[in-house]
Chains A and B, each alone.
Chain A
């Protein structure tokens, strides 16, 4: 049943991802009425699926890679829905919805069986650790997309083209606000997530934990994140330079994500 809900969510995300194209690129408002409800219903079924999975496993957090990816997909769709409600734009869906489909399609059709090899997974603190870091990843991704869209809109305005299919882009200032606000939302999430993770690791592993490659990369990521917010807030960094900076921090985040294979702390095992 859980898989059924997840598959249904993937199909709805797919519908939303397709509907958002004419809604945004061809400025056909009718398609918004398909894209947004489909994404909303998809998120609902996705949430039901995750809740059922966790309840059946007698735990409160995703622990295998696929579950975690799936939850990140859900967070991205929620980000899309929040932006659609707050800024009346569906443009972000062009990027966010297909990625949500990709993140959810693997656990929907090839559910994984890996688990973290620590008993801590049943505590509420580790749930917070994972949820907060996933929220920070999603916020960073949103910020990157906002920067990219800013670049496209800036070029369009500089090239002085008439209203075309790309009239779908939100105004530059709105894109800038989305980018900066996403980062400002992501920073406390990342800070709290890393702090909770560090305290838990210290309790269960001890100081050796700080020599773990993933942990070192995470600290680097946190510093890069803070630097990026500082630079953007103080110098008003926009356009190309903002995209370069966001891309760099995003790459660091991907590296941190991918560092599980090097990590003793975050290593998954197959039961």
Chain B
């Protein structure tokens, strides 16, 4: 294997895994690797269980989880903490990293040189932070998108089923899910849409509520209008009408979008104004000038008994006169309006992402504190139990010695209190020292 340098976390961090185990996260994502690399690393759903099991069976690996999505492939492992200074160890690489690289090499037949510039590595606290950020969708291509949490949960389920996610990764992942939920509920990171098509669909929902059963009229043909129509259909619209200068082209679009659940139809251009009232949402993209004026819009509304109409005007020059927006019941959004809303929504998302980062930072600190305190808590518990046992033995001995002239219940209670108090005071410095030791940061490795 050739030399491999990996982008590491920004700073070394205290060990956060008990019993000398090491937490390590290796991965590539949309920012570090082109799709050509990501697709070679991607593990399809039906192979995920086998891959996770194989990874967990590697020497030195105690627990493992593989997250494979279209934008990232990440491997999270808990490994034995003893550094294996073996012949395999390369400059800059440690045994845990090599274990994962070896798995990738063996399982996916990927050479290290292909991975070299793209892989990032996080350890201990940095790995926890990265996992929390990924689950909270702060590391996603579209920040705040909701799918990633489901994908992490899917990997976690598979990991548990094959026995690769156990005592250390299980609580860590469950914590990641609750952090993600907290980010969603305490910030508005997922409440806004950021693409033109999704903004249009979101606006349509603001007008009509559910889009189920709604009719979309596509006037003209274009990539953006087609994409928007598809988005609206995906959101529940069930009827699509197409009107185009060339009827054959209109028919082709209608045929392309027809499914058993979607009814489509073609409207001849000369009947557009007579038929437009059938549509709840009108998408125009002809650029042929003002097809809809306030007068024609009022006529459409009248036929619809004033039920609202949403005009999405993607054409330049505009197909719908801006004054139509002033007609009660008509809502007109042109391409600039939609882009403007998308930009504003992006700004809202970025602002919320900052708040979400604070939540993640706080939760990482809370989680690592709890983990680092866990062995100390166990030691303190053992110390207290030992002291209590000695106290009980001594109490029993003194009661036995005084059996001829026994203590009154009040005296016995006073002695009991005295011994408890003495034990507590004598142990206090040791317990405090243990707690101090646990909260001091250790160097990684």
* Interface, chain A (partner B; CB < 8 A): 27-30, 153-154, 157-158, 160-163, 167, 169-174, 234-241
Which residues in window 199-213 of B have CB below 8 A to A? 203, 205-209
Q: For the complex, what is the distance from the CA of A94 to the CA of B185, rounded to whole Å?
A: 21
Chain B residues positioned under 8 Å from A162 (CB to CB): 192, 340-341, 344-345, 348
Contact B331 A157 (CB under 8 A): yes
7 A–B contact pairs at CB < 8 A?
A157-B206, A163-B345, A170-B209, A172-B207, A172-B208, A174-B209, A240-B328
B206 contact set on A, CB distance < 8 A = 153, 157, 169, 171-172
Residue from the set A162, A171, A237 with the largest chain B CB neighbour count within 10 Å: A162
Mark B186-221 against chain A: 1 for CB-CB distance below 8 A, else 0.
101001100000000001011111000000000000
A4 to chain B, nearest CB (A): 35
Q: Give the number of residues in B that approach A within 8 Å (Cβ atoms).
A: 28
Docked CA distance A176–B295 (Å): 24
Q: Which residue of A lies closest to B209 (CB)?
A: A171
B226 cross-chain contacts in A, Cβ below 8 A: none
Chain B 350-375, CB within 8 Å of chain A: the 1/0 string?
Answer: 00000000000000000000000000
Partner of A239, one of B186, B329, B345: B329
State whether A173 touches B191 (Cβ < 8 A).
Answer: no
B304 contacts A by Cβ under 8 Å: yes
Which chain A residues border B307 with CB–CB below 8 Å? 236
Q: How far is the CA of A158 from the CA of B206 in the complex (A)?
A: 12
A-B contact count (CB 8 A): 67
Given A30-B185, A162-B344, also A235-B208 (CB < 8 A) = no
Q: Which residues of B contact A235 (CB under 8 A)?
A: 305-306
The CA of A115 and the CA of B209, in the complex, are separated in Å by 47
Q: Which residue in A158, A163, A170 is a CB contact (below 8 Å) of B325? A: A158
Cβ-closest chain A residue relative to B199: A162
B292 touches A (CB below 8 Å): no
Give the chain A neighbours of B333 by CB distance below 8 A: 160
Given A161-B344, A234-B305, 4 more pairs with CB closer than 8 A: A27-B188, A160-B340, A172-B209, A239-B328
Closest 9 CB pairs of A and B: A162-B344, A236-B306, A236-B305, A171-B209, A163-B192, A174-B209, A173-B209, A160-B337, A162-B341
- Report the separation of the CA atoms of residues A236 and B344 in the bound assembly, to the nearest whole angstrom: 33
- How distant is A109 from chain B, measured CB to nearest CB, in Å? 37
Closest residue of B by beta carbon distance from A172:
B207
Whether B208 lies near A171 (C-beta < 8 A) is yes
Least Cβ–Cβ distance between B110 and chain A, in angstroms: 43
